[in-house]
Structures are given as C-alpha cells and as structure tokens.
C-alpha cells in the first residue's frame, strides 16, 4: 500500500528587505559584481596577467564547461529549430555590424577637436567589433531566452567579426589590414565553444535530465564564472594604469556615453523585435546578443590593426563598455529570469 501524498508546506516568505531588493533587480550577483571591481582596484596584482594564479585556465575552462552544460540541455531537434530562425539571426548580425557603426558615424560631427577625433576613432573601433560569446549566451540563459539561437548568433558573430571589423576600420580609419594570424581566435572559438556544445548535445539523451534537474545550480556556476571574468578584466586595467592619464570627469563622461549607447541599442532592438512579432525568447536573444561587444576580439584586433598605437587609450571605451554591459545586462537578465520563474509557478 502506497502512502498518500502529503501536502507540501507553504514556501517561507522572503524577508521584506530581500523582496524589495529583488523587485528592483538587485541581488547577490549585482553586489558581487561591485565587490569584485572593488577588489580589483585595491589588489590588481592578484588577478592580472602577472599573477601566479592560473586565472586564464580557470576562466577558459569555466567558459568551456558553461557551453558543455548548455549543450547538455539541448536536444538535436531544439538546436536545428534554433538555427532556422533566419529573421532573428539577421536582426542580431545587422545590429552588431551595421547599426553600431552607423551610430558611431552619426556621432562623428560632435567630436571634432583633436582629442575628440582620437576618442571617436576608439569608439568607432568598438562599434565594429563582434559580439561576445560567453557573456551573451550566459545572459540569455539567465533571462530564459532561446539558447540554441543565442549560441549560434554569438558564435557566428565572432567568425564574421574577424573579417568585417578589419574591413570597416580599413575603409573609415584607413588602417591597412595586416597579415597577422587570426587563426588562434578561430581555434579558441572551436574548442572553447563549438566542441563543448557538440559534446553536450551528443550526451543530451543520456544526461540531459540531470542538467535540467540542476538548472539552478548551473545558473549559479555561470554567474560565478562571470564574476571571475569581470575581476580579471578590471585587474588588468588597473595594473596597466589604463585610467591614469584621464581625469575623473573624462572617465565619468565617457562612461555615461557608453551607457547611453547601450540603452540606445537596447531600445532600438527591443522596438524592432516587437515590430517583427518575435517571441519573448527570441527578443531576449536579439537584445543580449545584439548589444554586446567583445573585449577579447577587440584586444587582439587592435594590436593587429593599430601596431605601435597606445592600445590603453584605444581600448578604454571598449573596456568601459565591456564592464558596463555586463553589469547592466546582468541586472536585466536576472529580472527577466525571475519573471519567467514566476510565470512557471
């Protein structure tokens, strides 16, 4: 004789302060972001490239694991369906490689001084870069978006950017493309993203249910890897003294400009997605994949396209945008994710 199912006790209500912070999009992850930036400021040597700790291996392995677990939650049918969504893919790639540069060109008349021209060139370079891979997909996963489409768009953006970014810069900034080898980027994308996802998809039938069962734990793992990436990025910036030659007012003004650029793109993509009647999951992909810019690709391409240039100054807008996009996108993704979880209850 089986035992009757006992009624489950009601969930314990959250503390009023916790509930208030949660409703405002503030949680442990946001405070973690602020905390790691503060740690990087006071202890930059701990997470910089000169640190004896294996941060690069940790972040590289962590990102590969993130994509393996994403693949584990994807069936072959879901992945195939996500790749067929050509309208979504077109919106994301046009946003990344056309809308961003056109907005930078529109801002050129407002930066006519010698210092302003140099700043505009660095902003234009930022706008020609591809989207990030890891953070774009992580944010889409946290927000409850279309993961197969996110993985495809983030990955293909990285490959397209290897060719399109040098073309934009050569045409507008008159930099000759170099013969530098970009194969390392392709290989990194292959083994850090494509192969882990493929391995996860192949194991979906056997272990996919385990990934779904531990979905919340995997989400926390994603967030921890993002915190490590932010920490090491800021440690490198502070250790190299990127901000020393700028006044505080310059940094604040440039940061405000990067925030404005992010929200302008976010608003335009949101409006276009609604106009095209995208589903909520597809809108999330368009928003988070279309609004990101890759610091990794920017660092590599800057050294190839601008040999001998002061890369710290050239990459400053990108570094600020990279950090701010993670913070702003994290808050939005957390809020969207809670909305999806609330609807599922």
Region 111-137: mean pLDDT is 85
- On the CB side of 145, CA atoms within 13 Å amount to 29
CATH of the domain at 139: 1.20.1530.20
End-to-end CA distance of the chain: 31
The answer to whether residue 168 is domain-embedded is yes
The answer to whether residue 24 is domain-embedded is no
Q: Interior CA angle at 316 toward 313 and 317, to 5°?
A: 125
Predicted TM-score (pTM) above 0.75: no
Domain extent at residue 221: 51-336
The answer to whether residue 20 is domain-embedded is no
The answer to whether residue 159 is domain-embedded is yes
Q: 308 near 111, Cβ under 8 Å?
A: no
pLDDT at 321 over 60: yes
- Number of domains into which the chain is organized: 1
Of all residues in the chain, the percent with pLDDT exceeding 90 is 20
Region 328-345: mean pLDDT is 74
The answer to whether residue 28 is domain-embedded is no
Q: 17 near 28, Cβ under 8 Å?
A: no
How far is it, in rounded angstroms, from Cα 171 to Cα 194?
A: 31
pLDDT at 245 over 60: yes
The answer to whether residue 37 is domain-embedded is no
Nearest to 157 by CA among 193, 116, 112: 193
Tokens of 331: 């808050």
pLDDT at 155 over 90: no
The answer to whether residue 326 is domain-embedded is yes
Structure-model confidence comparison of residues 321 and 173, the more confident one? 321
167 in helix, strand or coil? Answer: helix
How far is it, in rounded angstroms, from Cα 220 to Cα 163?
A: 35
Region 324-345: mean pLDDT is 76
How far is it, in rounded angstroms, from Cα 198 to Cα 204?
A: 10
How far is it, in rounded angstroms, from Cα 285 to Cα 219?
A: 17
**What's the mean per-residue pLDDT of the chain?**
79
The answer to whether residue 32 is domain-embedded is no
- On the CB side of 102, CA atoms within 13 Å amount to 8
pLDDT at 276 over 90: yes
Of all residues in the chain, the percent with pLDDT exceeding 70 is 80
201-233 pLDDT, tens digit each: 888 888 888 887 887 788 788 778 878 877 887
């Amino acid at each position: 004789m089986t035992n009757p199912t006992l009624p489950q006790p009601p969930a314990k209500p959250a503390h009023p302060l916790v509930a208030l912070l949660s409703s405002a999009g503030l949680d442990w992850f946001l405070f973690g972001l602020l905390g790691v930036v503060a740690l990087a400021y006071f202890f930059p040597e701990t997470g910089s490239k000169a640190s004896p700790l294996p941060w690069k291996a940790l972040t590289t392995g962590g990102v590969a694991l993130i994509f393996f677990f994403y693949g584990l939650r994807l069936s072959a049918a879901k992945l195939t369906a996500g790749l067929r969504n050509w309208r979504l893919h077109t919106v994301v790639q046009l946003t990344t490689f056309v809308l961003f540069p056109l907005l930078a060109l529109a801002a050129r008349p407002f930066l006519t001084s010698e210092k302003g021209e140099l700043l505009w060139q660095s902003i234009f370079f930022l706008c020609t870069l591809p989207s990030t891979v890891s953070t774009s997909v992580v944010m889409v996963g946290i927000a409850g978006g279309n993961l197969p489409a996110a993985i495809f768009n983030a990955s293909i953006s990285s490959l397209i950017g290897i060719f399109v970014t040098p073309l934009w810069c050569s045409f507008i900034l008159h930099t000759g493309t170099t013969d530098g080898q970009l194969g390392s980027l392709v290989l990194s994308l292959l083994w850090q993203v494509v192969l882990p996802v493929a391995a996860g998809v192949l194991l979906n039938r056997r272990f996919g249910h385990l990934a779904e069962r531990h979905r919340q734990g995997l989400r926390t793992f994603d967030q921890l890897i993002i915190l490590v990436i932010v920490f090491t990025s800021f440690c490198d910036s502070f250790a190299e003294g990127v901000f020393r030659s700028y006044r505080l007012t310059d940094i604040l003004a440039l940061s405000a400009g990067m925030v404005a650029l992010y929200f302008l793109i976010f608003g335009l993509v949101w409006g276009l997605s609604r106009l095209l009647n995208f589903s909520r999951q597809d809108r999330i992909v368009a928003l988070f994949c279309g609004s990101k810019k890759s610091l990794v690709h920017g660092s590599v391409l800057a050294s190839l396209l601008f040999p001998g240039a002061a890369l710290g100054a050239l990459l400053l807008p990108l570094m600020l945008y990279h950090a701010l996009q993670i913070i702003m996108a994290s808050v939005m993704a957390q809020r969207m994710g809670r909305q999806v979880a609330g609807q599922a209850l």
